[in-house]
Amino acid sequence: MKLTRRVKEILSWYESDTPGTKANLARILMEGKLGGTGRMVILPVDQGFEHGPARSFAPNPAAYDPHYHFELAIDAGLNAYAAPLGMIEAGAATFAGAIPTILKVNSSNSLSTTKDQAVTGSVADALRLGCSAIGFTIYPSSEYQFEMMEELRELAEEAKAAGLAVVVWSYPRGPMLDKNGETAFDICAYAAHMAALMGAHIIKVKPPTDVLSLDAAKKVYIERKIDGSDLAKRISHVVQACFNGRRLVVFSGGEAKGTDALLAEARAIHAGGGNGSIVGRNAFQRPKDEALKLLGQMIEVYKGKA
Ligand code: FBP
């Protein structure tokens, strides 16, 4: 595999990483239809944990089968497939080497009232399953945020020592934040920055809205005229918060929505300099042909062609 100049440049930002970790990042960045561009579309399928099986898969029952998701990611020409242990194990032999995988090593569920995550996978599991990276969620602002951060610190240290990459889902939630606060412009940038500070190679946040939430930060946003007037500008501020673009940042798809809304979001992510999308429900809850069409259109957006 000959790396593109762009991918070599991206790898150079990760100054402390081993050749193993860089090779795994390169596998993700060079895979699929966006391979070599520095942009990515990743399929995450941990919603069975987060939201339960029927809410996740009943809209498209074929998606109850773990093989379905490997095939969807491969057929759509995506960069990687991320899932918890059981889902990756269920297709590990059939799809070995067919698509880079990210082992989601912690998960929450809807049967809990606390904003916390359990560690459900290990670095040894990721290596055994041939994964390129571990994936870990933190909930900045939760009552358990510091425990989650400490778990991430340990797992990231271990993953990097083993030559794996680290993908961090940074989803603010907790008593200080109402629903609007969770995706507020300043809060998304803050959450992305903390993931960068924790040593994430790839950061995943929700697309920011134009709300400003944290009183202590509002003043500087206003005084310094940090422009959040449209999504592309807000994305570019999040990119700035990710070490001025020296860390890869992708944005999640969210609940089921229309194709036009998703493509508009992808255009704004592209225009704002974000590295791509990590889109789950909007892909696997559609019938496969529709999902392939949508993902193909998103990929064209990230190629700068739509
Ligand atoms: P979606 O594209 O389905 O939103 O997936 C992205 C994701 O980060 C999943 O990995 C995760 O299960 C889900 O969002 C969690 O969403 P929430 O925390 O809002 O329930």
List the domain boundaries for the chain: 5-178+245-302
Catalytic residue among 204, 219, 257, 288: 204
Main-chain phi, psi angles of 251, to 5 degrees = -120, 140
The two structure tokens encoding residue 256: 């089921």
Report the pocket of ligand 1 as residue ranges, CB < 6 Å: 44, 46-47, 50, 169, 171, 252-254, 278-282
Alpha helix locations (H) across the chain? Answer: 5-13, 19-30, 47-51, 53-57, 66-75, 85-89, 123-128, 145-161, 179-182, 185-197, 215-223, 231-241, 259-271, 281-284, 288-302
Q: Calculate helix-pair angle for 288-302, 259-271, nearest 10 degrees.
A: 20
Sequential pLDDT tens for the chain (306 residues): 899 999 999 999 999 999 999 999 999 999 999 999 999 999 999 999 999 999 999 999 999 999 999 999 999 999 999 999 999 999 999 999 999 999 999 999 999 999 999 999 999 999 999 999 999 999 999 999 999 999 999 999 999 999 999 999 999 999 999 999 999 999 999 999 999 999 999 999 999 999 999 999 999 999 999 999 999 999 999 999 999 999 999 999 888 889 999 999 999 999 999 999 999 999 999 999 999 999 999 999 999 987
Closest by Cα among 129, 126, 177, 182 to 156: 126
User: What is the CA(251)–ligand 1 centre distance, in A?
Assistant: 10
The pTM score is 0.97
Task: Tell me the residue length of the chain.
Answer: 306
Nearest residue (CA) to ligand 1, atom 13: 47
Give yes or no for a contact between 273 and 234, defined as CB atoms under 8 angstroms apart. Answer: no
C-alpha–C-alpha distance, residues 115 and 124, integer Å: 26
Give yes or no for a contact between 116 and 139, defined as CB atoms under 8 angstroms apart. Answer: yes
Atom nearest to 51 CA in ligand 1:
20
- 204 given a catalytic annotation: yes
- Our CA angle for 172, 60, 56, nearest 5°, is 25
User: What is the CA(141)–ligand 1 centre distance, in A?
Assistant: 17
Which of 50, 57, 298 maximizes ligand 1 atoms within 8 Å of its Cβ, making it the mutation to test the pocket? 50
DSSP 207-257: PP-S----HHHHHHHHHTT---SSHHHHHHHHHHHTGGGTSEEEEE--S--
Main-chain phi, psi angles of 139, to 5 degrees = -115, 80
User: What is the CA(3)–ligand 1 centre distance, in A?
Assistant: 31
C-alpha–C-alpha distance, residues 12 and 25, integer Å: 11
Atom nearest to 50 CA in ligand 1:
12
CATH class label, 5-178+245-302: alpha beta
C-alpha–C-alpha distance, residues 144 and 286, integer Å: 34
User: What is the CA(5)–ligand 1 centre distance, in A?
Assistant: 32
